[in-house]
Structure 1
Amino acid sequence: MAEAQKVKFELEYPVKCSKPLLFQYLSTPNGLAEWFCDDVNNKGDNFTFIWGDTEQKAKMIGKRPEQYVRFRWEEDEQAGNKYFFEFRLVEDEITNDLSLWVIDFAYEDELEESKKLWNSQIGDLLHLLGSN
């Protein structure tokens, strides 16, 4: 039996703050520790996200300042999977409205739960930014 494949999903959140400020919260250990998890350690492109007694390692596999940052979980890296999660900043050329896109992958039976988790996490970020 073939291993179940994860499906890609994208979520969009309007944000009312500057791109440089938002990017700091998405791409730096201190910024991520403010809303994504309890603490973050990093060495170069290797990040360890800490939630209570749980640690999860990821590698930053792509980054363009004020545009996007992409991570791959260590277990996906080791399994040779191409899954990732990404924070992408998109600015409307006409209105200059800023949106944060979260791009992630989840198994079909975990899709709604994953979306709810991101909604909660990004809700914390927007609250922190005073953008909700």
Structure 2
Amino acid sequence: MVLNPNSFQNVILEQGDILYISEKTSIIMVHGEVAFPNGIEYSNGLNTKNYIEQIGDFSQKSNKSKVIVIQQNGKAELVSKTAKIQQGNEILVLPKAQTKGIELTHGITQVIYQIAVAVKVALDL
């Protein structure tokens, strides 16, 4: 759970709850559909595209318009490639959504296969 800094005083902890306070880090983690997912040292003024380029750029399966930045407090948001990154952020590049064409082709080939099997059975009788 990510707490809102303006109202976290109102949260009631129960027995067994674990409170995790992340430590500051100077590493930017880049995950998802990128060439070589890795951690990179933070440099002031770089944007998401700069960090992605440092690890080999986007993969062929990446959706370049779907980049998520996860802040150290757990807040995640969809951002542009030119968004500025803060120390300790993580960058996640999402994959392209598969098209319906692949599913349609699979369905059609399955029907054709079943018809071919039925014809073969009928001719062998």
Give your verdict on TM over 0.5. no
Higher normalized helix content (fraction of residues): 1
TM band (smaller chain)? under 0.3
TM-score by length of 2: 0.25
TM-score by length of 1: 0.24
Structure 1 or 2, whichever has the larger Rg, is 2
